Amino acid sequence: MRAQLCALLFSALAPAFAFAQVADTEKLLPQRLLQLVHTPEVQAELKLTPGKQAALEKLLTKLDAVWLPSRNLSPDEMRTTVAGLEEQVRQWVVANLSKQQARRLHQLECQAQGVRAMLREAMGKRLELSPEQINGFLTRAQATEAVQEELRQAQQSGSPTEEIQTRLKETVAAEQAALAEALTPQQHEAMWKLLGEPFDTSKLTRIYPLAPEFVRVDDWINSKPLTLKSFRGKVVLVHFYAFQCHNCHANFDIYKRWHDELAEKGVVLIGIQTPETSSERDPKLVKAAAAERGLEFPILVDLESKNWAAWGNTMWPTVYVVDKNGYIRSWWMGELNWQGATGDKSIEEMVEVALAEAGPEEKS
């Protein structure tokens, strides 16, 4: 039973952003705090009152405006940025929650870090890990990071990844197995006391930032100016495109189908036309192109690319799923059906999940 619980305990939280290989022990620790505090399950585990939840969301709205675009920074810059945001969360916790709640959140953070939590200096001291044990955890972590970096480079270059993915599974399994193999029974017992009741972080899904509010612009097509906040209680699909982008054209029929078929379910589709060419900077041409293509959903004309920047977007086209409470739940970059891809189905599956969840007015 302990072995099963151990496997459950160290199921890693799904990574929101990828990191390159690093050598420093501190940099091998996954940054999970922001993801955790976004989830309703963790907020429930901490027994946050509605008032505390609202106060936390106010903080997250500010932090997420930095967190979301930080995914475009270099790994080191991003880590530094996220560390600063995590520190603000910790300060809020100290000022607003009880010591018991703060302790439980720390336990959940360690659990979400998986076996990498053994690299925490405080954890090593409390468990009295030997230099050999620490080195073993460190070596396995570095091996996993190396293969992850190899996979990232292969994906960027378009090289085959099957063999690398197989090796990655093997290195991850070896790293996770080290927890059961390396610790003594006494250390296992001490670990459980430190980490508290097991909490399965692998099933948490609301782990991404709040969607940024639309930046005001002069021109909207097919609609008066809209705000994202006005759609709380509905699932919103936000897609970035440029009307002369051929990859964007490949998605248009899917967008039109979503607009026609999903509206009755409470789904809103909004386009953001961010220009790449000079023609795409002319609102009249943007409007004419939308009419020619039969795009009848609301379109924000993002001439100064301020919305593009706020979302940290990097590619035309990209589609985001925003849930009833305003949180980004998933996104797809590029053509939805490129070379047999089923991005439209992935988006639709996430939409169904989001539709089944409670909105602001449905929460008890």
Domain with residue 253: its CATH number is 3.40.30.10
Report which of 255, 233, 253, 252 is spatially closest to residue 244, judged by C-alpha positions.
252
Asked if residue 102 is part of any domain, the answer here is yes
- Secondary structure (DSSP) of 288-341: HHHHHHT--S-EEE-TT-HHHHHTT--SSSEEEEE-TTSBEEEEEES-TTGGG-
At residue 363, the pLDDT reads 63
Q: Phi/psi of residue 302, each to 5°?
A: -95, 65
Confidence of residue 170 (pLDDT cuts 50, 70, 90): very high
How many structural domains does the chain have?
2
Residues 154 and 302 placed together within one structural domain of the fold: no
pLDDT at 2 over 70: no
pLDDT > 90: percent of the chain = 88
Confidence at residue 22, expressed as pLDDT on a 0 to 100 scale: 35
Residue 361 lies in a domain: no
Task: Verify that 199 and 228 share a domain, yes or no.
Answer: no
- 198 shares its domain with 224: no
Residue 364 has what pLDDT?
53
Q: Does residue 214 belong to any structural domain of this protein?
A: no
Mean pLDDT of 169-175: 95
In whole angstroms, what is the distance from residue 344 CA to residue 255 CA?
A: 9
SS3 115: helix
Average confidence score pLDDT of the chain: 92
Report, as an integer, the average pLDDT of 354-364: 85
Same domain as 105, residue 64: yes
Backbone φ and ψ for 236, nearest 5 degrees, come out as -120, 130
Mean pLDDT, rounded, for 329-343? 96
Token pair 């091996």: residue? 143
Q: Which domain holds residue 93?
A: 2-203
Band (26; pLDDT cuts 50, 70, 90): confident
Alpha-carbon distance of 70 to 98, in angstroms, equals 31
| Shared domain check, 193 and 263 | no
Q: Flag whether 67 is in a domain.
A: yes
Yes or no: say if 310 and 212 are a contact pair by the CB < 8 Å rule. yes
Give the domain-ending residue among 168, 203, 238: 203
**What pTM value is reported for the model?**
0.89
Q: Which residues contact 325 (CB under 8 A, 6 or more apart)?
A: 232, 357, 359, 360
Question: pLDDT digits over 268-277, tens only?
Answer: 999 999 999 9
- Single residue among 169, 203, 237 that ends a domain in this structure: 203
Q: Are residues 233 and 351 in the same domain?
A: yes
Q: Does residue 21 carry a pLDDT above 50?
A: no
- Residue 213: inside a domain, yes or no? no
One-letter amino acid identity for 42?
Answer: V
294 and 254 in a single domain? The answer is yes
Looking at 15-19, 178-182, 307-311, 320-324, which range is the least confident one?
15-19
Backbone angles phi, psi at 22, to 5 degrees: -135, 155
The stretch 69-81 carries a mean pLDDT of: 94
Evaluate whether residue 209 is within a structural domain.
Answer: no
Max mean pLDDT among 12-16, 178-182, 222-226 falls in: 222-226
Rounded-to-integer distance, Cα 331 and Cα 209, Å: 12
- Per-residue pLDDT, averaged over 290-296, amounts to 98
Residues 241 and 155 in one domain: no
Confidence of residue 361 (pLDDT cuts 50, 70, 90): confident
Least confident stretch, 177-181, 203-207, 325-329: 177-181
Are residues 198 and 236 located together in one domain of the fold? no
Lowest pLDDT segment from 21-30, 149-158, 334-343? 21-30
- pLDDT category at 362 given cuts 50, 70, 90 is confident
Same domain, 186 and 288: no
Same domain, 261 and 152: no
At 7 the pLDDT is 37
Higher pLDDT, 1 or 216: 216
Of 170, 203, 236, which marks where a domain is finished? 203
Q: Looking at residue 11, what is its pLDDT?
A: 43
* 334: alpha, beta or left? (left if phi > 0; alpha if psi -120 to 50): left
If we measure between CA atoms, which residue out of 216, 235, 243 comes closest to residue 227? Answer: 216
- 12-16, 96-100, 264-268: which range is least confident on average? 12-16
Q: Which long-range contacts does 61-67 make (Cβ < 8 Å, 24+ apart)?
A: 61/210, 63/34, 63/88, 63/89, 64/209, 64/210, 64/212, 65/212, 65/310, 67/34, 67/209
In a domain, 212, yes or no: no
Confidence of residue 41 (pLDDT cuts 50, 70, 90): very high
CA–CA gap between residue 58 and residue 78 (Å, rounded): 22
Asked if residue 215 belongs to a domain, the reply is no
Overall size of the chain counted in residues: 364
Buried b (16+ CB within 10 A) or exposed e, 300-317: bbbbebebbebbbbeebb
Judge if 194 and 227 occupy the same domain: no
Q: For residue 236, give the H/E element and its range.
A: strand 235-241
Q: Which residues pair with 236 in a beta bridge?
A: 268, 322
Between these two residues, 253 and 4, which has the higher pLDDT value?
253
